[in-house]
């Protein structure tokens, strides 16, 4: 099978920033943006992962045109670096490689964070490298706890807030699937919509009359504590309450 030609030289070279010529200006408000702060924190914690991409040096000036990695370069300069590893492209086209990459979905991000924790990376270090508070990292780690597999399948390619999971956990699996299907169909995977569906689940349940002894629980969509019958004092039947919530 014929190997596809590479668009750049695979061995990175270290180039000083004063030899790089940006191909576009920095966006307004970049230094105070949350994304920029995350990149700075990530580089500071674990180093630069993806080298910059540059064109071949100009034969007259010796300058390299920076094709990809402008924000990474500004982040490195913010941290006091004066050079960076670069990949030299074999042509002069301003090809932005990151535009051809599918961004991680929320569930894919969850699996990556869980894998990092399983390999010994502490939530505190993740919090620092991603510029997120430790509570948010914990929510991402526990994102799928109490969520049924069918609901996870429906959400696997979607982007949503980690605060959505606590709302879905209050629903039974069948109702979780129904609500997620509605959110996906309307392209409205938000916490506010999930809370509205949760409220509708409570309001729309019929009022159940007293059931004969031995009948099953009512068909409600809400996760509720389950009571176990047990012997009470003097042989009288008693109620031993035990939570059955998936928190």
pLDDT in tens, 197-208: 999 987 665 544
What is the structure's pLDDT at 13? 92
pLDDT in tens, 32-70: 888 888 888 888 877 888 889 898 888 888 999 998 889
Q: Mean pLDDT score of the chain, rounded to an integer? A: 79
Q: Which residues are CB-neighbours of 16 under 8 A, at least 6 positions away?
A: 82, 83
What is the structure's pLDDT at 219? 53
With cut-offs at 50, 70 and 90, classify the pLDDT of residue 242: very low
What is the structure's pLDDT at 207? 45
In angstroms, what CA-CA distances link 66 with 25, 62, 96, 177? 11, 13, 10, 47
User: Residue 186, Cβ neighbours under 10 Å: how many?
Assistant: 10
Contact 87, 9 (CB under 8 A): yes
Residue 237: how many CA atoms within 13 Å on its side-chain side? Answer: 4
What is the structure's pLDDT at 98? 53
Helices 106-118 and 123-130 meet at what angle, rounded to 10?
Answer: 130
What is the structure's pLDDT at 231? 43
Rounded Cα gap, residues 40 and 44, in angstroms: 6
The full set of domains in the chain, from first to last, is 13-100 (3.90.1530.10), 106-203 (1.10.10)
Task: Detail the DSSP E strand segments found in 121-192.
Answer: none
Global confidence as pTM: 0.56
Contact 89, 33 (CB under 8 A): no
Strand-pairing partners, residue 86, are 13, 52
Rounded Cα gap, residues 9 and 148, in angstroms: 46
Write out the H or E segment, with its range, that includes residue 68: strand 64-68
Contact 44, 78 (CB under 8 A): no
Give the tokens for residue 106.
């929320």
Rounded Cα gap, residues 48 and 12, in angstroms: 12
What is the DSSP secondary structure assignment for residue 148, as one 8-state letter? -
In angstroms, what CA-CA distances link 57 with 15, 18, 33, 101? 11, 13, 32, 27
């Amino acid at each position: 099978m014929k190997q596809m030609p590479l668009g750049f030289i695979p061995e990175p070279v270290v180039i000083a920033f004063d030899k790089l010529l940006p191909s576009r200006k920095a966006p307004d408000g970049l230094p105070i943006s949350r994304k920029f702060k995350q990149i700075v924190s990530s580089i500071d914690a674990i180093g630069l992962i993806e080298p910059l991409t540059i064109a071949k040096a100009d034969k007259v000036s010796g300058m390299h045109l920076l094709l990809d990695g402008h924000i990474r370069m500004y982040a490195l300069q913010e941290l006091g670096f004066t050079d960076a590893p670069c990949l030299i492209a074999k042509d002069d086209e301003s090809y932005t490689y990151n535009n051809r990459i599918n961004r991680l979905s929320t569930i894919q991000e969850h699996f990556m964070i869980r894998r990092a924790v399983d390999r010994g990376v502490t939530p505190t270090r993740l919090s620092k490298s991603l510029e997120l508070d430790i509570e948010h990292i914990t929510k991402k780690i526990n994102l799928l706890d109490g969520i049924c597999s069918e609901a996870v399948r429906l959400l696997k390619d979607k982007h949503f807030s980690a605060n959505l999971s606590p709302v879905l956990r209050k629903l039974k699996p069948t109702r979780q699937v129904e609500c997620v299907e509605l959110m996906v169909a309307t392209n409205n995977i938000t916490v506010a919509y999930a809370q509205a569906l949760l409220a509708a689940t409570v309001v729309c349940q019929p009022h159940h009359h007293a059931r004969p002894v031995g009948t099953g629980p009512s068909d409600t969509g809400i996760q509720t504590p389950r009571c176990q019958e047990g012997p009470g004092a003097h042989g009288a039947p008693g109620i031993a309450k035990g939570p059955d919530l998936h928190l």
